[in-house]
């Protein structure tokens, strides 16, 4: 039967021996794992920058007058940069980073389909980020991350930062599109031959759905940015009403991209949740197929709801179809949420930092999703649009959703990537500060928004000061709460506790190789099992009990796969 | 399902429903309702809140219960039961949300359709948004000339249709107490319909990012009796005799431009003589006395002209830069510019230089 | 790529060589298609002389031409089903969105 | 392998592990190694790329259609006979590209290279005629910044022209490689990929000709 055994401990230390030199991460590498780490580190750096800008926002809003920034235009620049950086340079690339690292491992491929393209797509990101930040030198963009015309046009935004903004987003869009092509071809062609669609891990499903969205939606952004650049640089008037253009073309095209984009920002996170929750509740994921299909359902529906960002802009009757489709998205999303609750239910929950962030996602995303449905109702949106209610919604889904999932994934996969654990105690401190700070800062925004506080204002009605002080206070806790994470990651990467190949007793393909994986990902060619996960099967029980006796396994599960025995022992933690 | 479970289920359901109704009935999330549209919208919002609370409690309840009940016992290294799914259950939690959201769509549609209905006796008003002020025009006898106003006065219980336009970028016409919001889109006229039902003063707030002064862009709304409203509109009539003609260096024309809110000066600057009471920018009272010598080697006139054309280079210390629109150079004719400057040059502390300061209280 | 996602238990077929690499001779087809394309272009020009119905005609002719190129010159006709499906998606979405945009922006 | 016969998904352990190489499926995919399987990768890849191109052009076409609603007149100054010739040129170039491909499959190298060369020439002709057209239009007052129609017209046809130029460069590269003895009946992928791109650019023109010029 087993002819090649992979002894767990020696391999681990061997892998650590051949740790890649740090300099390698700053070079043009074709290894998907190196590129994955490059993405992750770059994205987290931008998280820091975006976060510090958020802190400036909150300091400014401590007082109702223009406060920190004498010049209100600077405030506009700060939140425009904050939104743009968080979305285009943090959340989207960080998921591409996780995908890059783990999709090939999960499908048993040696690399992505187009390694060169992969590296190229990554190396577009740092220059794009620098271009965007260079805006601070030439006059920053101040039209919000949505950059509505005519405000973002040449007449009302002379600053070259707005042009750089468009160029940077153009590069990021191209990078995304290349990444998406790469993911789709990789999953379609490079997976282990025995791995059928329904043997794919849910994270891979989610990445596929995401890639499809990127491929169909992001070119729209590219097209719109092209026209914007024409208007700003070539003297055209495509969006300028003064000369026959139409300012409404921009928001329509932008949201046709950007609503699907919010699912680009959350579907991979949902995929990560489907990986993390079963492992730490020691139960199979509840309703694998439903969750897999709902990703696709969300991807498709996401294309027909863009108008819900323009309920106060569009002609009255054209708002109605968008209202209905937007609300329907609650159904596939609900399938996922309930599936995850079903996964946790009756499990044997282990409260690792990763699991806590995953549960945090569940509890917060539900709120964000429900406020989304409230916003989707046209009459209610007439009150809520353009207020802090929307800011609350978007942070509940983007921070409470995407970022919590990113953190869950980071604690979960850090041992696989570096071969060392993140410190669990610091992780829990991180979680609690984040969770409490998050609720303190973003829950009150719902109220101030409905009550009449518009968003994107540096100066506000003094009657909102109390709520804003509370929010800022929460935001500072939230900001300080991220420090333990950054420190933890930096310290643990060099001196954290050494992790075995399968530290969490997970049963996905990526855990069968060493931590960190060798350059060629795994020895020999992997064979897919008939089910991507299977906690609680008699087989797995036996396995987890350390029972490697083939007869027992055969008796309990029926068909023991020979490779089963080869799996390195998981360090029971 | 045995009787005990059924009973528990019923009790939990009743509890959830009560909790939902409680939140729906007692929440104070919305400001005062001052329009006929506000009631149905609030009712819709409260209804959504009932459902939201129930869903929230179900999900968070199940989570909390799991976290407490199903946490790993010390020393227990076994796995949970191998449940991969349950088709019936999955169908239920697909179907119920589907029914809910379709219901919510229908209800929302109903509310919205009622708002869009044409109502008898609708009063049509006109509002123009520009960086960073609103100005309002009222219907009137075509034989008289009416000045634009920087305050929105509305007769109570009369259906209103606002025709909204924008002079520059997108703005959002929003009165929180009316629950009405509609963007002003340059190049087209949009509409908002509502019926004010509560006497009082509110604010029309700009809800669409329109530049650095976006947060400063709000004007007063006054809902008053029909009689008061009529009186107000009459007060806007510009007497025939005082109607100046556009002319080069015509201070009266300059004053007219400011009175009629042509360029939105009144949103920020304060000058009772021209009926403007903005608080954002430097006051214009006795401006002529200060203008000269503000900048070395510039007389009052040059200083004023440059301040209008290049506001960012002439920010008075203590005031925000970038708030004043920087495109007057393109928007303002020389006639208008010179006339306004001439008018401003008349603003000295010594009233004799300025004739009778006919302060008009708004 | 398996042709049907319902065959869960079957492994995906490891890369099969595509049909057209098996040296099927399409030269004649290519010529016919070219003639058809040229003829359709001529018809398009003729159609502009009947303003009343020119728009549906022109759209029909252009669609036919595009389809001919995709199907024959780009070999989609001979490819496995997945490729036509991949390409149909953006075409359908693109048409719908372009039309929807006309509606939304014109109002 | 035993796994292939498994039916009871619920009961079987889901584990994937490593098995000896000989036992594994022979056609295992490896990312870096194009020769084993890569051809199919590249073809799927280029089709996905074309998918994104369709969406990109959709924006530009939609903008042009909007401009036409706004003011229908300016489009009258377009020179239809000239562009009809150009359309024919591009169609012909597509035909020569498939001929080249087919000749390569039959190992008829002369025909292969000749047709490829012809395609390049036709492509260059197309771009030249377009340059003439642009020149004429600008002398008649239709420029990029003249009006909305001009902006969207030049954005749209300009981007198409850029694609044609990229296509010409690609064809030239392919030609040079073929001229130096590259490609063979068993190694046609380079030609096929260039061809797919070229035909796509042709299709875009087919649509533009009708949408921008004729309607
Ligand atoms: C990760 C990002 C993300 C996600 C996932 C979502 C998800 C959703 N969003 Fe959100 N949204 C944003 C990011 C996101 N959004 C951002 C960034 C903005 C602001 C942009 C800007 O202007 O700057 C925004 C703005 C926004 C608006 C515009 C508000 C305005 O400006 O006026 C609307 C309106 O309809 C909306 C709706 C929705 C809906 C219906 C969902 C749905 O997908 C939610 C579905 C989920 C659930 C409903 C919860 C789980 C389901 C159940 C438990 C089942 C039962 C539930 C019911 C029956 C209700 N969003
Ligand atoms: C993924 C997306 C994402 C994320 C993670 C965040 C994170 C945060 N956001 Fe942001 N936000 C957006 C996306 C996001 N935001 C978008 C799209 C907009 C709309 C923009 C627009 O209108 O155009 C917006 C707008 C927005 C506003 C509204 C501005 C306005 O309308 O006027 C506010 C106001 O409070 C805000 C606050 C915050 C805060 C406090 C955090 C915090 O969670 C940040 C916490 C993180 C850190 C602080 C970094 C790490 C911490 C350290 C390194 C410790 C040391 C630092 C200090 C304590 C100083 N955001
Ligand atoms: Cu006007 Cu914001
Ligand atoms: Cu949206």
pLDDT at B362 over 70: no
pLDDT, tens digit (0-9, with 9 covering 90-100), for D177-208:
988 888 888 888 888 889 999 999 999 999 99
Task: Tell me the C-alpha to C-alpha distance, in Å, between residue B165 and each of A414, B125, B169.
Answer: 55, 11, 10
In this complex, the residue of C8, C97, C105 whose CB is nearest that of residue A248 is C105
Among chain D residues, the shortest Cα distance to C17 is held by: D40
pLDDT reported for residue A534? 55
Give the distance, in angstroms, between the CA of residue B318 and the centroid of all CA atoms in the same chain: 26
In this complex, the residue of C55, C89, C97 whose CB is nearest that of residue D58 is C97
Band of the pLDDT at B108, cuts 50, 70, 90?
very high
* Residues of B (109-168) whose Cβ lies below 8 Å from A: 109, 111-112, 115-116, 168
pLDDT, tens digit (0-9, with 9 covering 90-100), for A503-535:
888 877 788 777 788 887 776 666 666 667 655
Pick A244 or A475 by higher pLDDT. Answer: A475
- Quote the CA–CA distance of A24 and D12 in Å, as a whole number: 41
Q: What is the mean pLDDT of chain D?
A: 78
**Which range has the worst mean pLDDT, A486-495, B30-39, B232-241, D101-110?**
B232-241
- Quote the CA–CA distance of B17 and A405 in Å, as a whole number: 31
pLDDT, tens digit (0-9, with 9 covering 90-100), for B267-287:
778 777 776 766 667 778 778
- Quote the CA–CA distance of A238 and D64 in Å, as a whole number: 9
- Quote the CA–CA distance of B259 and B253 in Å, as a whole number: 10
Token representation of residue C91: 């075409």
CB B165 within 8 A of CB B127: yes
pLDDT at B56 over 60: yes
Strands B200-206 and B190-194: unpaired
**Which range has the worst mean pLDDT, A56-60, A68-72, A216-220, D162-166?**
A68-72
- Quote the CA–CA distance of A187 and A202 in Å, as a whole number: 12
Query: What residues in B contact A287, CB-CB < 8 Å?
Result: 84-86, 90
Which residue intervals of A317-400 are DSSP H helices?
319-328, 330-344, 353-376, 378-384, 388-397
Which residue intervals of chain B are DSSP H helices?
3-26, 38-69, 87-116, 226-235, 251-259, 287-291, 300-309, 328-331, 334-345
pLDDT reported for residue A567? 35
pLDDT at B141 over 50: yes
- Count the Cβ atoms, other than its own, within 10 Å of residue A475: 23
pLDDT reported for residue B321? 65
pLDDT, tens digit (0-9, with 9 covering 90-100), for A274-288:
999 988 988 888 888
pLDDT average, residue stretch A476-499? 90
pLDDT reported for residue D36? 35
pLDDT reported for residue A540? 55
- Quote the CA–CA distance of B242 and B355 in Å, as a whole number: 14
pLDDT reported for residue A225? 93
pLDDT reported for residue D72? 65
pLDDT reported for residue B360? 34
Q: What percent of chain C has pLDDT over 70?
A: 74
Q: Which residues of B62-100 are buried (b: 16+ CB within 10 A; e: fewer)?
A: bbeebbeebebeeeeeebbebbbbeeeebeebbeebbeb
Residue A193 and residue D19: Cβ atoms within 8 Å? no
DSSP string spanning B201-214? EEEEEE-S--STTG
pLDDT, tens digit (0-9, with 9 covering 90-100), for C20-70:
444 567 778 888 888 888 888 888 888 888 877 888 888 888 888 888 888
Q: What is the mean pLDDT of chain B?
A: 82
pLDDT average, residue stretch D130-154? 85
Strands B218-224 and B152-155: parallel
CB A93 within 8 A of CB A171: no
Residue D31 and residue A186: Cβ atoms within 8 Å? yes
Within 13 Å, how many C-alpha atoms sit on residue A223's CB side? 32
DSSP string spanning A11-58? HHHHHHHTPPPGGGGGS----HHHHHHHHHHHHHHHHHHHHHHHHHHH
Q: What percent of chain A has pLDDT over 90?
A: 55
pLDDT reported for residue A570? 33
Cα–Cα nearest to B237, from B141, B361, B134: B141
pLDDT, tens digit (0-9, with 9 covering 90-100), for C57-93:
888 888 888 888 888 888 877 777 778 888 888 899 8
pLDDT average, residue stretch B16-29? 81
pLDDT, tens digit (0-9, with 9 covering 90-100), for A472-484:
999 999 999 999 9
Q: What percent of chain B has pLDDT over 70?
A: 90
pLDDT average, residue stretch B114-138? 86
pLDDT at A192 over 90: no
The percent helix, strand, coil of chain A (3-state, each to 5) is: 70, 0, 30
Confirm or reject contact between A351 and chain B (CB < 8 A).
yes
Cα–Cα nearest to A281, from A354, A209, A333, A223: A354
pLDDT average, residue stretch D110-122? 91
Say if pTM beats, i.e. exceeds, 0.80: yes
The percent helix, strand, coil of chain D (3-state, each to 5) is: 75, 0, 20
Cα–Cα nearest to B264, from B132, B163, B171, B165: B132
Taking CA atoms only, the protein residue closest to ligand 3 atom 1 is B171
DSSP string spanning B297-340? T--HHHHHHHHHH-GGGGPPTTS-TT-S-S-HHHHS-HHHHHHH
pLDDT reported for residue B243? 67
**Which range has the worst mean pLDDT, A360-364, B31-35, B295-299, D78-82?**
B295-299
pLDDT average, residue stretch A295-312? 91
pLDDT, tens digit (0-9, with 9 covering 90-100), for C65-74:
888 888 888 8
**Which range has the worst mean pLDDT, A24-33, A422-431, B291-300, D32-41?**
D32-41
Q: Which residues are A358's β-sheet partners?
A: none
Q: What atom in ligand 1 is closest to the CA of residue A327?
A: 40
CB A181 within 8 A of CB A117: yes
Token representation of residue D121: 């020439």
Q: Which residues are A508's β-sheet partners?
A: none
H/E stretch holding A69 reads: none
Q: Work out the minimum CA distance from C42 to partner chain D, whole angstroms.
A: 9
pLDDT reported for residue A183? 93
Query: What residues in D contact C97, CB-CB < 8 Å?
Result: 58, 62
Band of the pLDDT at A547, cuts 50, 70, 90?
very low
pLDDT, tens digit (0-9, with 9 covering 90-100), for B182-230:
999 988 899 999 999 999 999 999 999 988 888 888 888 999 999 999 8
pLDDT at A10 over 80: no
pLDDT, tens digit (0-9, with 9 covering 90-100), for B60-93:
999 999 999 888 888 777 777 777 888 888 899 8
* Residues of D (2-21) whose Cβ lies below 8 Å from A: 2-6, 8-21
């Amino acid at each position: 039967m087993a002819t090649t055994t992979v002894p767990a401990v020696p391999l681990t230390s061997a892998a650590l021996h051949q740790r890649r030199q740090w300099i390698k991460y700053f070079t043009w590498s074709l290894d998907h794992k190196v590129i994955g780490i490059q993405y992750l580190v770059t994205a987290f750096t931008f998280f820091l920058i975006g976060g510090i800008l958020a802190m400036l926002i909150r300091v400014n809003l401590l007082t109702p007058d223009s406060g920190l920034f004498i010049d209100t235009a600077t405030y506009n620049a700060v939140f425009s940069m904050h939104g743009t950086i968080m979305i285009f340079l943090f959340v989207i690339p960080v998921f591409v980073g996780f995908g890059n690292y783990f999709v090939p491992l999960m499908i048993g491929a040696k690399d992505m389909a187009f390694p060169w393209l992969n590296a190229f797509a990554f190396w577009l990101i740092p220059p794009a980020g620098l271009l965007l930040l260079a805006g601070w030198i030439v006059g920053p963009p101040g039209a919000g991350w949505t950059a509505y015309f005519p405000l973002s046009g040449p007449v009302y935004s002379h600053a070259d930062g707005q042009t750089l903004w468009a160029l940077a987003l153009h590069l990021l869009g191209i990078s995304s599109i290349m990444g998406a092509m790469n993911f789709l071809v990789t999953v379609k062609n490079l997976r282990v031959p025995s791995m059928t669609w329904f043997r794919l891990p849910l994270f891979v499903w989610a990445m596929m759905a995401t890639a499809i969205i990127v491929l169909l939606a992001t070119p729209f952004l590219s097209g719109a940015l092209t026209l914007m650049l024409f208007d700003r640089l070539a003297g055209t008037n495509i969006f300028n009403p003064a000369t026959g253009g139409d300012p409404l073309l921009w928001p329509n095209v932008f949201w046709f991209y950007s609503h699907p984009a919010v699912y680009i920002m959350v579907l991979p996170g949902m995929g990560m949740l489907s990986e993390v929750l079963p492992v730490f509740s020691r139960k199979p994921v509840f309703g694998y197929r439903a969750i897999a299909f709902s990703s696709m359902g969300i991807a498709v529906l996401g294309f027909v709801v863009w108008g819900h960002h323009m309920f106060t802009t569009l002609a009255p009757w054209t708002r109605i179809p968008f209202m209905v489709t937007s609300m329907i998205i609650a159904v596939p999303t609900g399938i996922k949420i309930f599936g995850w609750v079903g996964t946790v239910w009756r499990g044997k929950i282990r409260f690792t930092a990763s699991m806590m962030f995953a549960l945090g996602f569940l509890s917060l995303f539900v709120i964000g999703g429900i406020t989304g449905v409230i916003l989707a109702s046209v009459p209610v949106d007439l009150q809520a649009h353009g207020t802090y209610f929307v800011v609350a919604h978007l942070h509940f889904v983007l921070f409470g959703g995407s970022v919590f999932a990113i953190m869950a994934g980071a604690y979960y996969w850090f041992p696989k990537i570096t071969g060392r654990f993140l410190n669990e105690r610091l992780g829990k401190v991180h979680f609690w500060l984040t969770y409490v700070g998050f609720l303190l800062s973003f829950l009150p925004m719902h109220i101030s928004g409905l009550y009449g506080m518009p968003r994107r204002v540096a100066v506000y009605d003094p009657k909102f000061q109390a709520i804003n002080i509370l929010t800022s206070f929460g935001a500072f806790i939230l900001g300080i709460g991220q420090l333990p994470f950054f420190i933890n990651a930096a310290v643990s990467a060099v001196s954290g506790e050494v992790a075995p190949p399968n530290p969490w007793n997970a049963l996905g393909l990526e855990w069968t190789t060493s931590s960190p994986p060798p350059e060629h990902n795994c020895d020999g060619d992997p064979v897919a099992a008939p089910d991507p996960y299977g906690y609680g099967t008699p087989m797995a029980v036996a396995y987890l009990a350390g029972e490697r006796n083939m007869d027992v396994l055969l008796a309990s599960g029926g068909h023991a796969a020979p490779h089963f025995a080869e799996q390195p022992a998981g360090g029971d933690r | 399902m045995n009787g005990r479970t059924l009973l528990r289920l019923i009790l939990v359901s009743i509890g959830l429903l009560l909790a939902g109704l409680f939140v729906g009935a007692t929440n104070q999330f919305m400001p005062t309702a001052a329009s006929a549209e506000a009631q149905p919208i609030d009712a819709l919002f409260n209804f959504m809140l009932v459902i939201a609370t129930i869903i929230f409690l179900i999900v968070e309840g199940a989570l909390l219960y799991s976290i407490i009940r199903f946490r790993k016992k010390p020393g227990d290294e076994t796995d949970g039961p191998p449940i991969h799914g349950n088709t019936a259950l999955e169908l239920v939690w697909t179907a119920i949300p589907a029914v809910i959201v379709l219901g919510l769509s229908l209800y929302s549609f109903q509310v919205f359709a009622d708002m869009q209905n044409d109502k008898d006796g609708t009063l049509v008003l006109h509002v123009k948004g520009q960086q960073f002020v609103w100005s309002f025009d009222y219907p009137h006898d075509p034989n008289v000339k009416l000045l634009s106003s920087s305050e929105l006065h509305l007769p109570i219980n009369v259906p209103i249709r606002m025709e909204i336009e924008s002079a520059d970028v997108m703005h959002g016409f929003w009165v929180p107490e009316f629950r009405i919001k509609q963007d002003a889109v340059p190049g087209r006229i949009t509409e908002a319909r509502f019926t004010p039902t509560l006497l009082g003063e509110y604010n029309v707030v700009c809800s669409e990012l329109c530049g650095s002064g976006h947060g400063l862009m709000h004007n007063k709304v006054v809902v008053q009796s029909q009689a008061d409203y009529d009186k107000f509109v009459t007060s806007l009539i510009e007497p025939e005799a005082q109607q100046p003609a556009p002319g080069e260096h015509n201070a009266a024309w300059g004053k007219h431009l400011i009175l009629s809110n042509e360029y939105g000066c009144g949103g920020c600057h304060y000058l009772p003589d021209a009926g403007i009471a903005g608080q954002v920018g430097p006051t214009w009272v006795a401006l002529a006395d200060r203008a000269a010598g503000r900048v070395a080697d510039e007389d009052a006139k040059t200083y004023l002209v440059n301040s209008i054309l290049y506001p960012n280079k002439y920010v008075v210390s203590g005031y925000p830069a970038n708030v004043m629109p920087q495109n007057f150079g393109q928007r303002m004719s020389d006639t208008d510019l010179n006339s306004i400057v001439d008018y401003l040059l008349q603003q000295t502390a010594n009233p004799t230089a300025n004739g009778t300061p006919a302060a008009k209280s708004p | 790529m398996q042709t049907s996602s319902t065959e869960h238990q079957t492994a995906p077929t490891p890369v099969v060589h595509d049909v057209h690499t098996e040296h099927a001779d399409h030269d004649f087809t290519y010529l016919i298609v070219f003639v058809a394309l040229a003829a359709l272009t001529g018809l398009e020009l003729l159609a502009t002389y009947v303003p009343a119905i020119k728009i549906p005609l022109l759209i029909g002719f252009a669609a036919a031409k595009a389809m001919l190129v995709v199907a024959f010159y780009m070999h989609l006709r001979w490819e496995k089903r997945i490729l036509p499906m991949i390409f149909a998606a953006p075409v359908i979405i693109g048409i719908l969105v372009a039309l929807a945009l006309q509606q939304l922006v014109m109002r | 392998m035993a796994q292939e016969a498994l039916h009871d998904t619920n009961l079987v352990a889901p584990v994937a592990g490593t098995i000896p190489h000989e036992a594994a499926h022979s056609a295992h995919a490896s990312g870096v190694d194009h020769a084993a399987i890569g051809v199919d990768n590249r073809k799927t890849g280029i089709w996905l790329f074309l998918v994104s191109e369709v969406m990109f052009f959709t924006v530009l076409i939609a903008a042009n259609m909007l401009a036409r609603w706004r003011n229908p007149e300016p489009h009258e100054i377009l020179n239809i006979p000239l562009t009809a010739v150009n359309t024919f040129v591009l169609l012909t170039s597509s035909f020569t590209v498939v001929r080249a491909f087919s000749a390569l499959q039959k190992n008829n190298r002369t025909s292969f290279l000749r047709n490829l060369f012809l395609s390049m020439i036709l492509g260059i002709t197309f771009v030249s005629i377009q340059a003439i057209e642009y020149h004429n239009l600008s002398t008649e007052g239709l420029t990029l910044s003249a009006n909305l129609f001009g902006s969207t017209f030049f954005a749209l046809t300009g981007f198409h022209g850029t694609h044609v130029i990229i296509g010409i460069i690609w064809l030239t590269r392919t030609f040079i490689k073929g001229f130096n003895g590259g490609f063979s009946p068993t190694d046609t992928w380079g030609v096929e990929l260039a061809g797919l791109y070229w035909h796509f650019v042709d299709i875009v023109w087919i649509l533009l000709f009708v949408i921008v010029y004729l309607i």
